[in-house]
Amino acid sequence: MAEKKIVSIEDRIPQLKQARKRKANRRFILYLSVILLLVLVIVYMQSPLSHVKSVEVENNGVVSVEQITDLAGIDWDESYWKQNTDEIALNIQEHPEIEQAEVERSWYNSFVISVQEYKRVAYQKDGESYYPILQNGELLSEVKLDKPRSDAPLLHGFEDSNYLSEISEQLASLPDSISLLISEIYWDPDEVNRDRIRFYTVDGQEVVGVISNFASKMEVYPSISAQINDDLEGVLHIDVGAYFVPFEDQDMELEIDEIPLEESF
């Protein structure tokens, strides 16, 4: 049987002292590291290194980067970490053309701002100036244009805010490929129907319709207009059913099939 080695307390004391010394050194290094880190953080927070260095704006179309960054209210001389991203987003959403804004931190001193704009669905003339109309029916009286852009039709006679809101909603639901076919829309009520409109397409076609089903009718407009002879001039009615009345023979009506858009190609 192996003989058990006995270590005296005198031999163990130096080893215990060394172990305690190493433990104390590790604790000292840990405390010193924490203190140095806190000092560095304090110095960083008080120095220009913590200030906002850049702002990136995404998904804006009409509202410029400069307008968005100005609205954001970012304090470039204040610490990056003291800036409230929720407040920045709310500041940006004060712009009438911005429906939603999201602000995220990037790296250690940059912001990324992503916006969702209300769609401009039309323009309206007042005097010699033109004003955009948003998908929610709001007319931007503070955005004054010398001429309308080609991205939406021009409206005439929609002084009634209810009809303006309704036609804006209808236009907003149209795909761009269809709305770009429309050049001008007139509110044209008669004794029977206050909802009636008369509009013109970019290829010169005159069309009569109603606001309430305008979007659904326009979705099949390409297939409807394709059935009209190019040499024949007149008015296309898509208010109830679809038929064409030539200018040269007001008593003649040409019935037209309403073919769904996906079946017209």
Q: Give residue limits of the domains in the chain.
A: 13-46, 49-117, 120-263
- From residue 122, alpha-carbon distances to 60, 234, 265 in Å are 18, 25, 28
Q: What is the pLDDT along the chain (265 residues), one digit of tens a residue?
A: 455 555 555 555 666 667 777 777 788 888 888 888 888 777 767 777 788 999 999 999 989 999 999 999 999 988 888 899 999 999 999 999 999 999 999 887 899 999 999 999 999 998 889 999 999 899 999 889 998 888 899 999 998 889 999 999 999 999 989 999 999 999 999 888 899 999 999 988 999 999 999 999 898 888 888 888 777 788 999 887 788 888 876 555 555 555 443 333 2
Contact 221, 242 (CB under 8 A): no
CATH class name, domain 120-263: alpha beta
Contact 50, 75 (CB under 8 A): no
pTM: 0.70
DSSP state, 145? B
Q: Residue 99, exposed/middle/buried by CB under 10 A (0-12, 13-18, 19+)?
A: middle
CATH number of 49-117: 3.10.20.310
3-class SS of residue 228: coil
Q: For the chain, first and last CA: distance in Å?
A: 99
